Amino acid sequence: MFKRRELVLLFCSLILLTMIPAIDGYPSGKHNSGTSGCGCHGGSSNSITPTHNFPAEYDSSVATYSINIGFSGGGVGSFGGYSLQISDGVLSNPDSNSQISGLSITHNSKSATSWTFDWSPPALGSGAVTVNIAVLNANGAGSGGDVWNTVSVSIPEFVDTDGDGYSDQNDAFPNDPNEWEDTDGDGVGDNSDAFPNDSSETQDTDG
């Protein structure tokens, strides 16, 4: 009888041990969770917003971008975590609270709430790059009360076909180095339009 009771207690103890990771989450990080987020800490919350300084457009001629990841809001505690995936380029130079695995980077401890690393963009002609970021603010008392959220960012490639300093994406005349804006939408660039704010007029022949 006593032997059977001991076996039952041992079995229950083993079950509890297997539950610890699910309760404590991933204090040393979790790669490739930028999309799925931190499900072991409950559902996502709009009370926290991921922050980043990825460029609005990336220039393939730039060797390295210094990236900062953090969050606004939260307010539930002094602990944090993140997981980021990027579709192209090279991740490098993680801070002491981060670790890299291929195109994924995550925290390696729960002590920080902001993180830095470098990103080298892909070669010319690679097209848009997608970044998925998940951030977590934790209270350090298990998973209850923690908050997390995700964001997905598409970074187009900076391409300037006509060399006027304006990317094709933001150039109304991507093949004309003398024009890049058409405020009134009449098809004539502002630099050649005598009436750039009047779509019914483009020339002033009598001065």
In whole angstroms, give the CA distance from residue 152 to residue 80. Answer: 19
pTM score of the predicted model? 0.69
Rounded to a whole number, what is the distance in angstroms from the first to the last CA of the chain?
109
Residues 183, 186, 192, 195, CA torsion sign? negative
Domains and CATH numbers, the chain: 25-155 (2.60.40), 159-207 (no CATH)
Confidence label for 36 from pLDDT (cuts 50, 70 and 90):
low
Paired strand residues for 99: 106
Q: With cut-offs at 50, 70 and 90, classify the pLDDT of residue 193.
A: confident
Radius of gyration of the chain (CA): 26
CB-based contacts of 122, cutoff 8 Å, min separation 6: 60, 88, 89, 129
| Residue range 86-122, pLDDT digits in tens | 999 999 999 999 999 999 999 998 889 999 999 999 9
What does the alpha-carbon distance between residue 175 and residue 103 come to, in Å, rounded to a whole number? Answer: 35
Question: What value does the mean pLDDT take over residues 177-189?
Answer: 83
Q: Which residue reads 């890299």 in tokens?
A: 100
Higher pLDDT, 169 or 80: 80
Beta-strand pair 98-101/104-107: antiparallel
